[in-house]
Amino acid sequence: MALTTISSWKSFGGNLSVYDHVSPLLGCPMRFAVYTPPQAADGPVPVLWYLSGLTCSWANVMEKSGLQRAAAKYGVMVIAPDTSPRGEGVADDDAYDLGQGAGFYLTATELPWSTHYRMDQYITDELPALVGEHVPGADMGRQGIFGHSMGGHGAIMLHLKHPDRYRTCSAFSPITSPARVPWGQKAFEAYLGPVSIAWEQYDSTELVKERQSKATILVDTGTADSFLERELKPEIFIDACERSGQRLEYRMREGYGHDYYFIATFMDDHIEHHALALMD
Amino acid sequence: MALTTISSWKSFGGNLSVYDHVSPLLGCPMRFAVYTPPQAADGPVPVLWYLSGLTCSWANVMEKSGLQRAAAKYGVMVIAPDTSPRGEGVADDDAYDLGQGAGFYLTATELPWSTHYRMDQYITDELPALVGEHVPGADMGRQGIFGHSMGGHGAIMLHLKHPDRYRTCSAFSPITSPARVPWGQKAFEAYLGPVSIAWEQYDSTELVKERQSKATILVDTGTADSFLERELKPEIFIDACERSGQRLEYRMREGYGHDYYFIATFMDDHIEHHALALMD
């Protein structure tokens, strides 16, 4: 399992590299990007995992969020994986919200998806092992996780399941109750089958009832987000966190949408949130 | 001549809007984007024109440069026009460096280009008139201009021709001697015909011999820019500025390329360069 460097650019004194590798777990080639800040030249730096939303690849956040500025300021590495297995041999669907680009960070149990769709294991096991071995400067003892929309779901869900691994967590416009909204229901039914206990294992609102992390989860969501009422439903997760004692800072941002202009506006806050906690 | 709003996003407390309009000058519909900083709510703000490079539209710089942060900090409006006339009735070429997306900010005199290609007049006359009339918050008495690559050529060339209009000027990786490099020679021959006095009117190196501005032109170019030796040739323009007395701060940036990761890294410097001078 080695990495092939596809592209490399200097950015804010650090380096953005895009890598290809073969994934035995997913059964296909995969691509991801790593922003390494200049501080990594002097020793290992904290690692932030950014999980993207529906249809996205590594490129959206690396091209459009401006994260490199804050990552270089605070000295953190940011890794952006893809959002699903991909390629000709991988099951797909014509819809933008199912199949390739829509892996929902879970292990599918239903055919045809169960052959390749294991994005939670890819994010938590296979890819970190590869990064730890082959990407210089990554301190795998200090990891945080964040994401957008479907990737916000992935970040919060994986943080709650692995709080010692991902010590910090934040999200932009996350899907926090996938089992109760159309995007999540469609994906869970396809990947996991009809409603069952399996759904709860990937639903942050259900998870937080049983297990709370020591971290404060930071969330920003725009009031003009066109998916707010139908897919995001912040109040359900906010209520569950209050009841369970999970610390949560959920900020509604007046007039902002679901887009990368919104994410870019608040990216510095999120990088700082992780960096300050991971510097300890 | 009215504007149709195509998209609008909140960004760094301000607003990014994309407009369509019919251009009588170019004989086709045109699209451009305006970032309006929050300070415009309190009164007119300086206007910066950003001219993009080959193949680009308004979107590249607005999505990838992170300019909104600095524009919001300093309170300047940034306008990103398209790089050529476009559409089915507009002459084109299969090459990326001629025709649509490659207008070179000049008035073509050769058929078939002369029917639509008048990007210098569009940038200096038609579009500013439209903005001044229809975009709230633009102080047309305080304008600056900057750009990238072909757009860096456009910015410096138009600044030298209209120093009272564009009081400030900067560029990333500009083509400053188009008459002496392959990209410029190909475009000038197609649009203007064989080498003639007409070429000199669009060549910054020739222009600066005859007319110098009072401004200091700021330029950043990467040492790892793959077009450096063949298309950019900084030394020719640097030498011409030294001989003519034109103030120029030309900075070579170690290890950076021709891409928007490079531009994003130094965007704040450029916005600040314009903003401080235009605040007078």
pLDDT digits (tens, 9 = 90+) for A73-122: 999 999 999 999 999 999 999 999 999 999 999 999 999 999 999 999 99
pLDDT digits (tens, 9 = 90+) for A161-201: 999 999 999 999 999 999 999 999 999 999 999 999 999 99
3-class state of residue B116 by DSSP: coil
Return the closest-CA partner of residue B126 out of B62, B7, B32.
B32
Q: How do the pLDDT tens digits run along chain B, 280 residues long?
A: 589 999 999 999 999 999 999 999 999 999 999 999 999 999 999 999 999 999 999 999 999 999 999 999 999 999 999 999 999 999 999 999 999 999 999 999 999 999 999 999 999 999 999 999 999 999 999 999 999 999 999 999 999 999 999 999 999 999 999 999 999 999 999 999 999 999 999 999 999 999 999 999 999 999 999 999 999 999 999 999 999 999 999 999 999 999 999 999 999 999 999 999 998 6
In whole angstroms, what is the distance from residue A16 CA to residue A9 CA?
Answer: 5
- Residue B75 backbone phi and psi in degrees, to 5: 75, 50
Mean pLDDT of the A123-147 span: 97
String of DSSP letters for B35-68: EE-GGGGGS-EEEEEEE--TT--HHHHHHHS-HH
In whole angstroms, what is the distance from residue B200 CA to residue B192 CA?
Answer: 11
- Closest Cα in chain B to A67: B66
| SS3 per-residue string spanning chain A | CCCEEEEEEEECCEEEEEEEEEECCCCEEEEEEEEECHHHHHCCEEEEEEECCCCCCHHHHHHHCCHHHHHHHHCCEEEECCCCCCCCCCCCCCCCCCCCCCCCCCECCCCCHHHCCEHHHHHHHHHHHHHHHHCCCEEEEEEEEEEECHHHHHHHHHHHHCCCCEEEEEEECCCCCHHHCHHHHHHHHHHHCCCCHHHHCCCHHHHHHHCCCCCCEEEEEECCCCCHHHHHCHHHHHHHHHHHCCCEEEEEECCCCCCHHHHHHHHHHHHHHHHHHHCC
Let me know: does B178 contact B201? Beta carbons within 8 Å. no
The Cβ of residue A83 has, within 10 Å, a number of other Cβ atoms equal to 26
CA B150 to chain centre: 8
Q: Which of B9, B66, B224 sits opposite A66 (nearest CB)?
A: B66
The pair of three-digit structure tokens given for residue A8, joined into one six-digit string:
């490399």
From chain A, the residues in CB contact with B260 under 8 A are 63
pLDDT of A278 over the 70 cut: yes
At residue A142 the predicted structure's pLDDT band, cuts being 50, 70 and 90, is very high
A149 tagged catalytic: yes
Question: Which residues 6+ apart lie within 8 Å of A36 measured at CB?
Answer: A14, A15, A16, A17, A45, A77, A135, A136, A137
**Taking CB atoms and an 8 Å limit, are B256 and A10 in contact across chains?**
yes
pLDDT for the residue numbered B280: 66
**Taking CB atoms and an 8 Å limit, are A265 and B9 in contact across chains?**
no
From chain B, the residues in CB contact with A9 under 8 A are 257, 259, 261-262
Q: How far is B211 from chain A (nearest CA, A)?
A: 35
Q: How many CA atoms lie within 13 A of B35 on its CB side?
A: 28
pLDDT for the residue numbered A280: 66
**Taking CB atoms and an 8 Å limit, are A12 and B264 in contact across chains?**
yes
pLDDT for the residue numbered A270: 98
At residue A245 the predicted structure's pLDDT band, cuts being 50, 70 and 90, is very high
- Closest Cα in chain B to A73: B265
Q: Which of A11, A255, A257 sits opposite B261 (nearest CB)?
A: A11
Let me know: does B51 contact B170? Beta carbons within 8 Å. no
**Taking CB atoms and an 8 Å limit, are B10 and A69 in contact across chains?**
no
Let me know: does B220 contact B251? Beta carbons within 8 Å. yes
In whole angstroms, what is the distance from residue A148 CA to residue A51 CA?
Answer: 7
Q: How far is B215 from chain A (nearest CA, A)?
A: 27
From chain A, the residues in CB contact with B69 under 8 A are 66, 69, 264
A120 tagged catalytic: no
pLDDT for the residue numbered B211: 95
A82 tagged catalytic: no
pLDDT of A1 over the 90 cut: no
3-class state of residue B129 by DSSP: helix
Q: Which residues pair with B63 in a beta bridge?
A: none
Return the closest-CA partner of residue B252 out of B275, B231, B232.
B232
Q: Which of A10, A13, A261 sits opposite B11 (nearest CB)?
A: A261
**Taking CB atoms and an 8 Å limit, are A66 and B69 in contact across chains?**
yes
**Taking CB atoms and an 8 Å limit, are A264 and B224 in contact across chains?**
no
Q: How far is B149 from chain A (nearest CA, A)?
A: 18
